């Protein structure tokens, strides 16, 4: 059992944190206050490896929170949460830049990966997303003095049984913030409900649907496309027929 711990710098250089076996959080949460379990702050040049497991033993929290991070890469990571576990995002990113998440598997009851405010140049590639809400960007325009989100790329990511494919969440407020330079390529979906629905007050603009090829399996087909308050264009294959 490992109680909440903080590893705080400033530290630079070659630092290796090796995890072997299972590191478990005590089940009785009345014995501690849990905002974060294992925390790394003000550290540069660190590698976490070893193939071990962090087992939260049912505590409901985001699995990984990346806040104010730069040049960080995840690869070969497996994240799972038990059924009926809301608010268990796999990875949440905020006010961070140059983040890459690749070749991993995430199965939670909330967002597989959530992209928060102030995120720049985030690449998600080869991430298998199961159950939960899929990939999410937002919530935008909720608070004053928010930072824009720019440079998000999602490619080669299969999604199975998620509530959404990719979602951008905004609030109907007077706050003016934007998400731009977003790219979603080579995404496959199975048992996923997808609606492209934007705000009537601030329609989605400059959206391009290119080479969409979706097939419905089951008796309730055929598959159809639905959009609301969207302005854009289409290119290439459009199955089903585009709603733009």
DSSP 8-state code for residue 168: E
Laid out side by side, the sheet with 134-140 consists of 64-67, 91-94, 111-115, 134-140, 166-170
The residue annotated as part of the active site, out of 133, 186, 191, 229, is 133
229 is catalytic: no
> Contact at 8 Å (CB) between 159 and 127?
no
What phi and psi, each to the nearest 5 degrees, are found at residue 31? -90, 0
Task: Sort strands 227-228 and 196-197 into parallel, antiparallel or unpaired.
Answer: parallel
Per-residue CA distances from 117 to 20, 69, 114, 150 (Å): 34, 13, 10, 10
CA distance 201 to 172: 8
148 is catalytic: no
Terminal C-alpha separation, the chain: 54
The residue annotated as part of the active site, out of 63, 89, 92, 110, is 110
Q: Active-site residue numbers?
A: 110, 133
């Amino acid at each position: 059992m490992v109680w909440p711990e903080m590893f705080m710098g400033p530290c630079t250089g070659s630092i290796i944190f090796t995890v072997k076996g299972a590191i478990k959080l005590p089940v009785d949460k009345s014995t501690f206050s849990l905002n974060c379990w294992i925390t790394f702050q003000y550290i540069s040049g660190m590698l976490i490896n070893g193939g071990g497991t962090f087992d939260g033993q049912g505590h409901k929290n985001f699995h990984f929170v990346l806040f104010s991070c730069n040049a960080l890469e995840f690869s070969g990571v497996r994240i799972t949460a038990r059924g009926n576990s809301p608010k268990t995002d796999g990875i949440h990113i905020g006010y961070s830049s140059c983040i890459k998440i690749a070749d991993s598997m995430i199965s939670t009851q909330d967002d597989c990966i959530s992209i928060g405010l102030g995120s720049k140049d985030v690449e998600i590639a080869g991430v298998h997303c199961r159950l939960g809400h899929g990939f999410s960007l937002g919530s935008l325009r909720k608070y004053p003095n928010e930072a824009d989100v720019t440079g998000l790329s999602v490619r080669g990511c299969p999604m199975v049984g998620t509530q959404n494919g990719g979602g951008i969440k905004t609030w109907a407020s007077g706050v003016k913030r934007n998400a731009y330079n977003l790219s979603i390529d080579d995404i496959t979906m199975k048992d996923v409900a997808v609606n492209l629905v934007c705000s009537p007050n601030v329609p989605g603009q400059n959206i391009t649907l290119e080479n969409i090829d979706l097939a419905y399996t089951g008796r309730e087909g055929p598959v159809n496309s639905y959009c609301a308050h969207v302005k854009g264009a289409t290119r290439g294959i459009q199955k089903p027929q585009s709603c733009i």
